Every structure is written in C-alpha cells, then in structure tokens.
Structure 1
Amino acid sequence: MVLLVVKRSETQQFLYEIPADTAVGEVIQRVVTINNLRQKIQRLKEGGEDLTDIQTDTQQDSDDAGSACASEQLEALQRTLAAADLLQHKDQAEKKVALTEDMLEEAVEDIRHAVAEAYPDGLASDNPFMRVLDGTEDLTGTSHDGENLDASEAELWFASKKLPLESKLSQHVGRNEKTKVVVKLQRAGYGPPPREPAVDEETQKAMLAYYYKKQEDQKRLAADDTMYYDSAWANPRSLKNQFSGIGDVRLS
C-alpha cells in the first residue's frame, strides 16, 4: 500500500493508504470522501458545542432526575464529538495514523447515536446541527464554503504535476508499495498548488535554533578575543617592561 500524505493546505492534511496500481480517478474519489468526512466532523464538533451550551443553559435551574440524566447524556455527546474530532485531526498525520472511510463514517454514526440519547424527542430537521449530520446543509456564502469537494471537479497533484485521471498511481510514484509521498488535493481550475517547502516545519525550527546558538557562540568568542587583547600577557612590550622594572605601572 502506498502511503499518501494528502494536503489541501498546511492545516488540512491526512494520511491515506491505497494500492499503487489504483487508477488516479479512483484515488481522487477515495481521498475526496475522506476530505468531506473530515470537514463534516469538524462542523459537527463546532455545531455540537453550541447545541450543548444552549441545552445546558435551559437546565441550570432544574434539579429533577430527568434533567440529571439528560445532563449525563449531554456530557456523553460532548465526549463523542471530541473523540471524533481527535480522530480526524491533522495531527494524526504526524502520528502516522492513516484514515479510512469506515473509521470516519463510524465516528459520524457514534455522534448520531449520542444525539438520539441526549435528545430522545429528536431535533427539528431544520436544526443547523441536524442539517450537518444529515448532509443537507447549504455551505454557500458561509465560512465553510468550499470545504467540501466533488470528485468530478477535483484534481490530484504530485511533484508539481497534475495526475491524469486515466493513469495509474504507480506511473507517477513507482510500484514500491512502501512508498510515502505528498500529494495535493484541490478543486479543478486553480492551477498548480504552492510548492512544498524545502524542509518541514520541525526541521526549519531546529535549523534556526542551531544558527542562533552558533551566532551566540561567535559573539562569546569575539568577547573572549577582546579580553585577550586587554590582557597583560598579550602586551608585546610586556617582556621589555619586565626587564626595565616598569611592570604594571599605569599613568593616571
């Protein structure tokens, strides 16, 4: 299985494994599905926090058993949302955790079950949270506009080249099933995506720290050189003064 580091931006990336002989068109369909599920979970996490905050406010003055039970179920919903968000987080790529359609779809279903437990009477179908959960929300003109992709309008780029849909992935990344490559996923018609930096962020930080330390060391050496020139033993006339009996006589 080839390990793809799929990037839409520096803050939107994930790992995905797929056989090297898979057609690029199918690769795009698979990674678009992962992308859209990740975005859905992010919106559910965002909307779920608002949902539980509102419900908690309405229960603050009530101490009956029913409200206590609902409170526990709301906490369970929050934990489920947090777990799903952690599953899809971009840090999973750094932890070398490859995502699958099944694991993300299962996370969405866990959220659906948690919502049903917290709201046994159900939520209105036009509730913003339910629109996200049911996939009926309209993102046009919102801050989330453009997050979802349509596989028929998406492109996959590797080494600054757009991969033809009819070609095999192996034609571009090789047949080694243990290969790890960075690919860019984007909407069609936007031209080549930005090039990858020559070094990753962690390496860049290490390099900056190294050069800073080197610069500080050079400053200390320069200071030591100055002290050397001010030392009596470095005075070229020191030996002559010694024989003349002048020693360390200084004029005030």
Structure 2
Amino acid sequence: MVLLVVKRSESQQFLFEITADTDVEEVLQRVVNINNLRYRIQRLKQEGDKLAVHTQGDQPTSGDDEYDEHMEKLQRALAAAELLQHKDQVARKVALTEDKLQEAVEDIRRAAAIAYPEGLPAEEPFKHALGGTEDPIGTSHDGDELDASEAELWFASKKLPVRSKLSQHVGRNEKTKAVVKLQHAGYGRPPREPVVDEETQKAMLAYYHKKQEDEKRLAADDTMYFDSAWANPKSLKNQFSGVGDVRLS
C-alpha cells in the first residue's frame, strides 16, 4: 500500500493508504471524504464543548448522577474522535479511513441521543454539526469541506490528472511514501514543501548554534596561551639570567 501524507496545511494533514494502481479520481474522492469527516469532527468537538458549558446549570434536580454520566460519555466520545483525526496521527503513523471516522461520528451521535433524549433545540449549532446541516458561509469554517468535483491533488508541484493512475506519479512500489497537497480547484500551484521538516530544521539550527558557540570558546582558549609564562619567547633566557617574573612598576 502506498502511504500518502495528505496536506491542506501544516496544521491540517493526515495519513491515507491505498494501492499504487488506484485511479487518481478514486484517490481524490476518498481523501476528500476523509477531509470532510475530519473537519466535521473538529466542529463537533468545538460546538460540543460550548454545549457542555451552556448546559452545566441546566441539569435536572433529580437523577443528577445519571445525567452527569451521560454527559461524560458524550465528552469521551468527542475526545476520542478528536484524537482519532488529529494531525499528530501522522507522526504516530496511524492512517485514517472513512469507516473509522464515520464510526467516531456515530459514537458521538449515540452519546448525544442518550444525553439529550428529548432532542436539542433547532438552533443549537451542535445539532447542525451532528447532522451536517450547518451553513459555513461567513464563518471560520467556510472552505473547510470540499467537493471532489471541485478539488485537486498535487504531487511534486504537479497536479494529478483524475484520468490517470496513482502509480504514474509516485511509482509502482507499494512501500512508497509521498506527500500530496489537497486543495480547491483553480487555486494554482501550492507552496513547495520545505526541504526538511520542522523538527529537523529545529535540530539543525540547534546544532549550528552549538557549533558556533564551541568555535567561539575554542577561539578564546587559543588566545589565552599568550598570557602564559611558557608562551613567552624570552622565558628560557630570563630563567638563566635570573630575571624570572620581574615586573617593572
């Protein structure tokens, strides 16, 4: 299986596995589905946290323990879903699938149905996020989700034609790992990937800084011998003449 690092940005990326002989059109559709599910989970977590704060003072006077237990289950479902889709899964080498993400959404849906058996108000943002009926236009989520017919995949600064095989671009080796960019169609060539990743760049900068400091220290050590008696070219002569370390005041 080819391992793709799919990036919208440095903060929005995930791993996806698929065979090299898959059509780019299918790859695009599947990574768009995962992209949309990831953003949906992010909105659910955001709106679920707000809902929990708003309803803290609204729990019933009887059966508080049961109510708290249901709310805890909802929060656990939200936290588990957030962890599943988090960009850190790339570093953990955990590939995402549509099924896993959809199951996480369903876990949230079931927990919400138990916590709010009478349903949520029609205007509640969490309800719309759960049903996928929110209107993102004009909000911070505008542009998060994509339509496969209006999206593009880029690899090595080249757009991948949908009427081609993935292997035509990344090779036939099923152990290949490649970074691809996912974006709205018509946005042009995405920025080039840095030659090294952020962590490697930090390590390199730390190494060069330490090297500079070591060179400065060694340079300072090299000049210290001029003040030593053994470094005085007249030292031996002075010893024989009895002058020694006589100083003139």
TM-score, normalising length from structure 1? 0.96
Deviations 1:130-171 (A, max 9, x none): 111101100001011110011000000000000111011000
* Offset, 1:68: 2.2
Of 76-85 and 125-134, the range deviating more from structure 2: 125-134
Aligned ranges for residues 37-116 of structure 1 at < 5 Å?
A: 37-59=37-59, 64-116=61-113
**Structure 2 equivalent of residue 246 of structure 1:** 243
Q: In the TM superposition, what are the counterparts of 1:1-12 in structure 2 within 5 Å?
A: 1-12=1-12
Which residue in the other structure is 1:192 paired with?
189
Alignment deviations for residues 80-136 of structure 1 (CA, whole Å, 9 cap, x no partner): 101100000000011000000000000000000010111111113332111111011
Give aligned pairs, total.
249
RMSD (Å) for aligned C-alpha atoms: 1.1
- 1:142 is aligned to 139
Q: Distance in 2 between matches of 1:173 and 1:66?
A: 58
Could you say which residue in structure 1 is the equivalent of 2:202? 205
Secondary structure (helix, strand or coil) at the match of 1:31 reads: helix
SS in 2 for 1:157: strand
Measure the CA separation in 2 of the matches of 1:75 and 1:226. Answer: 68
CA-CA distance at 1:65 after TM superposition = 3.9
Partners of 1:69 and 1:55 in 2: CA distance: 15
Q: Which structure 1 segments of 5+ residues have no match?
A: none
Query: Any idea what SS the aligned residue of 1:9 has?
Result: coil
Structure 2 letter corresponding to 1:205: K
Q: 1 CA distance for matches of 2:186 and 2:156?
A: 18
**Paired AA for residue 52 in structure 2:** T
What letter is aligned with 1:126? E
Q: Percent identity?
A: 74
- Deviation (angstroms), 1:225: 1.2
Q: Does 1:172 align with 2:169?
A: yes
> How far off its partner does 1:67 sit?
2.3
Shift of 1:28: 0.6
Equivalent-residue separation in structure 2 for 1:99 and 1:55 (angstroms): 33
Query: Which residue type is aligned with residue 91 of structure 1?
Result: D
Residue 123 of structure 1 aligns with which residue?
Answer: 120
Letter aligned with residue 22 of structure 2:
T
Q: Distance in 2 between matches of 1:151 and 1:230?
A: 75
Paired amino acid for 2:27: V
Structure 2 distance, partners of 1:135, 1:8, is 21
**Structure 1 residue matching 2:178: 3-state secondary structure:** strand
Structure 1 stretch 86-95 or stretch 240-249: which is displaced more? 240-249
C-alpha distance in structure 1 between counterparts of 2:211 and 2:245, whole Å: 37
